[in-house]
Amino acid sequence: MATQVNMPKLGLSMKEGIVGKWFKKEGETVKQGEALLEIMTDKITNKVDAPADGILLKIAADKKAKLPVGGLLGVIGQAGEDIGALLKAAVASGAKTAAPVAAAAIQPAAVKVAAGGRVKISPIARKLAEENGIDYSLIAGTGPEGRITREDVEQFMSQPPADERPALEIIAYEGMRRAIGDNMANSWAVAPKVTQHVSVDLSALQSLRATINSDVKDTEKISVTDILVKAVARALERHPRINTTLCGDEEIKVLSEINIGVAIALPEGLVVPVVKQANQKALAEVSKEVKDFAKRAKKNKLEPDEMNGGTFTVTNLGGYGSVDYFTPIINQPESAILGVGRTVEKPVVIGGQIVIRPMLALSLAFDHRVIDGAPAAAFLSTLLKLIEQPHKIFI
């Protein structure tokens, strides 16, 4: 009996997902538990496993298709099995598909060449292609039985010419990379951002960190990022208007929970798991969560809900030793993000004397629709005092 493959619910807040690449083609054999396709949300890319053994009889949602939770992605069954009734029933029950379904058991997603070997193309599409010197045999048709339409030719013409320059590697713009790109482009487009850059003396924080780590295991040592997450959370307690989100075009919500996202770099992109209610947690607990997030992120084991609910993000590039100040992109729907650069020994004047101190570069980017420059500067002032007098973080 055929088995439906439906859009999974990858987290409590997920309402829809986008189909990434399929690892199997129609007609190929699949095994239960085998990776079948990728699903992208606005936070993460997850692999969907085959729910049963059999043959992938139908791909109902092609790459880039957007479906609601429960939408029909495909059908697994046995060779020759008639799934026409199942497909109709699925659509009738509200399990939307992103590809047309036929009564026949298996219909190829696009059939471009007719039985006689000729390309199926409408007369007006053929004329348009010939007038523009286009080899229409290269165009995938979307009309009935894969017929090439005028719209198909126009779409083909609108595409930029292929880049023929030699490359060391070709990386598909899909999955996590596309999700990150779409989110960053959206944030850059919708939020008029301002960035404030400051430097802060890190000597007291480094001393406190050395004391804390003096008698703990290497696997349990506190990092500068851990302390900064805690410091940011305490600063947000005193400046709640920074811990906000813009809801549509009608209201600004000052959030009651302080949930700090921590950006973690991966070879294929970036993830931002969230330390929930970081202001209420002990430093050791914050550190343990951040370490666990980093460990599981490398294995693609983070849960979607662990990357939802953030109210402010910290992104640290200091470990690379090359970046001072930068403009981090706000992690929507948050209203601010703190970029952490490298720590550099610099001469500073203290008490009329020139001394050398480790100076940490910080960049606060904020959405000017929601936050003005003065309250942002006040928040930074509090954060700097907490970093320079880190014992106050715990008072």
The CATH code of the domain that includes 28 is 2.40.50.100
pLDDT reading at 107 higher than 60: no
Please write the tens of the pLDDT for every residue from 146-182. Answer: 889 999 999 888 877 777 788 888 888 877 788 888 8
Residue written as token pair 């059999």: 54
Residue 272 lies in a domain: yes
Residue 191 lies in a domain: yes
Structure tokens at 357: 């101190």
- 157 lies in the same domain as 185: no
pLDDT reading at 64 higher than 90: no
Distance between CA atoms of residues 53 and 58, nearest Å: 14
Contact between 121 and 136 (Cβ < 8 Å): yes
- 181 lies in the same domain as 298: yes
Please write the tens of the pLDDT for every residue from 290-322. Answer: 999 999 999 888 888 899 999 999 999 999 999
**Neighbour order of strands in the sheet with 66-68:** 45-49, 35-40, 16-22, 66-68
pLDDT at 295: 95
- 125 lies in the same domain as 268: no
Residue 298 lies in a domain: yes
Q: Predicted confidence band at 94 (pLDDT cuts at 50, 70, 90)?
A: low
Share of the chain above pLDDT 70, in %: 92
- 341 lies in the same domain as 282: yes
pLDDT reading at 117 higher than 60: no
Which of 129, 144, 165 marks a domain boundary? 165
Q: Which residues pair with 121 in a beta bridge?
A: 148
- 182 lies in the same domain as 64: no
pLDDT at 36: 94
Average pLDDT over every residue of 374-393: 98
Tell me which residue range forms the domain holding 161. 110-165
Q: Predicted confidence band at 92 (pLDDT cuts at 50, 70, 90)?
A: low
Pick the catalytic residue: 135, 182, 368, 391?
A: 368
| 391: annotated active-site residue | no
pLDDT reading at 234 higher than 70: yes
Which of 46, 63, 92 marks a domain boundary? 92
- 200 lies in the same domain as 238: yes
Please tell me whether the overall predicted TM-score, pTM, comes out greater than 0.75 for this model: no
pLDDT reading at 248 higher than 80: yes
- 326 lies in the same domain as 302: yes
Nearest 5°: the CA angle 383, 384, 389 is: 100
Residue 103 lies in a domain: no
Contact between 85 and 110 (Cβ < 8 Å): no
Average pLDDT over every residue of 341-368: 96
Nearest to 181 by CA among 55, 45, 58: 45
Q: Predicted confidence band at 97 (pLDDT cuts at 50, 70, 90)?
A: low
Contact between 314 and 330 (Cβ < 8 Å): no
Residue 118 lies in a domain: yes
Distance between CA atoms of residues 395 and 393, nearest Å: 6
Lowest mean pLDDT segment, chosen from 1-10, 86-95, 373-382: 86-95
- 358 lies in the same domain as 221: yes
CATH of the domain at 187: 3.30.559.10
Residue 102 lies in a domain: no
Residue 389 lies in a domain: yes
Alpha carbon 159 to its chain's center: 26
Q: What is the mean pLDDT of the chain?
A: 88
Please write the tens of the pLDDT for every residue from 329-347. Answer: 999 999 999 999 999 999 9
| 372: annotated active-site residue | yes
- 353 lies in the same domain as 317: yes
Distance between CA atoms of residues 97 and 67, nearest Å: 7
CATH of the domain at 148: 4.10.320.10
Residue 98 lies in a domain: no
Residue of 95 and 212 predicted with greater confidence: 212
pLDDT at 155: 87
- 161 lies in the same domain as 187: no
Please write the tens of the pLDDT for every residue from 45-60. Answer: 788 999 999 999 999 8
pLDDT reading at 110 higher than 50: no
- 28 lies in the same domain as 76: yes
- 231 lies in the same domain as 305: yes
The angle that helices 203-213 and 224-238 make with each other, rounded to 10 degrees, is: 120
Number of domains in the chain: 3
